[in-house]
Amino acid sequence: MSADPLSSDAFFARLLCDIMIPAEISAAIRAHGYDVIEARALPVAVQQDDRAILAEGARLRCVVVTCNYSDPQSNFCLIHEEWIALGRAHYGILLIPQFQISNRLRRWAVRDRLLNFLNQYSADELRNHLWWLPQE
């Protein structure tokens, strides 16, 4: 076991997909062997509070996958900055532009890019970082 309290002891990241991520994307990633939790399975109070989602992701040792980066009041870019400033640790945040998953045909390209991304980085490499899903 690593001395780091957030060390996951797992090579592959676990994911917590917020409610903006379609269930079919979560299911497709899960079908490729990844541990994927959906925020829609959590209590409604957590689903509706981005800070609570990140806290739950940290508790469950999951990378939070979300499209929320533009809300001026509460978005994961701001929350990440808050956590880093406070010295709070999390397992990572992966941002996917909403327009890329709004179109049902583009979702499969997102799935493929997401799988490629997850296969390139270990769970420990994702910790405490804010990532953008790379373009094709």
Q: Which residues contact 126 (CB under 8 A, 6 or more apart)?
A: 13, 63, 91, 92, 94
* pTM of the shown model: 0.90
**Could you report the per-residue pLDDT of 29-47, keeping only the tens digit for each?**
999 999 999 999 999 999 9
pLDDT at 4: 44
Residue 1 in this model has a pLDDT that exceeds 60? no
Q: Which residue has the tokens 């533009």?
A: 70
**How many angstroms separate the first and last alpha carbons of the chain?**
36
Do 18 and 65 touch, CB atoms closer than 8 A? yes
**Could you report the per-residue pLDDT of 51-110, keeping only the tens digit for each?**
999 999 999 999 999 999 988 888 999 999 999 999 999 999 999 999 888 887 788 999
pLDDT at 9: 53
